[in-house]
Structure 1
Amino acid sequence: MSPRDREETEVRRMLAGPHPPVPPDLAVRATARGRRLLARRRLLRRTGRLLALLALAALLVWAMHQPWLPPPVRITPPVEGW
């Protein structure tokens, strides 16, 4: 008998045996857990979108100030050669 046949025989024996009792409120608990998971995913998605929007707004505000340009000269250079 090959190892695969032994595994198949063992699985068939386990499936043919007595099945454990299922709690009567299993469907209710599964539904409640699914709703909690969906609500959590929805909250995480909304939070991520809000953070991305805030990051984009901060980038736009930063870019509007044009930090890559040198600061404007506050005084005029001395006039020479008159």
Structure 2
Amino acid sequence: MNRPEREAAVRQLMERTPPHVPPELHADVVRRGGRMLRRRTIARWLLWVLLCAAIVAFAVWAVVAQPWVEPPSQTTPPLTDW
């Protein structure tokens, strides 16, 4: 089958009348679509909350631990009784 024949076959398939769809299928699809949308919205909201909680936890840890401050040297004893 060459390209024009394939295109003609595809056009024939697309121009046929659409298959009969049961009327109760529309309501079922709308219900499932709404449920999927709600789940995506909740999942997105939970991910944003989790991200914000991680940022707050990191900020609190950074303020308490102060990782940018160099710890005092422990190699020499402190000078006393001079």
TM-score, with length taken from structure 2 = 0.72
Percent identity over the alignment?
Answer: 36
Q: Distance in 2 between matches of 1:27 and 1:78?
A: 87
* Match runs of 1:1-80 below 5 Å: 3-17=2-16, 19-65=18-64, 66-69=66-69, 70=71, 77-80=79-82
Aligned positions, number:
75
Q: Distance in 2 between matches of 1:49 and 1:78?
A: 54
Query: Which residues of structure 1 form unaligned runs of 5+?
Result: none
Q: Report the RMSD for the aligned CA atoms in angstroms.
A: 2.3
Q: Is the partner of 1:20 in helix, strand or coil?
A: coil
The CA deviation string for residues 32-77 of structure 1, in whole angstroms up to 9 with x for no partner, is: 1211111111111111111111111111111112133226xxxx74
Query: Which residues of structure 2 form unaligned runs of 5+?
Result: 73-77
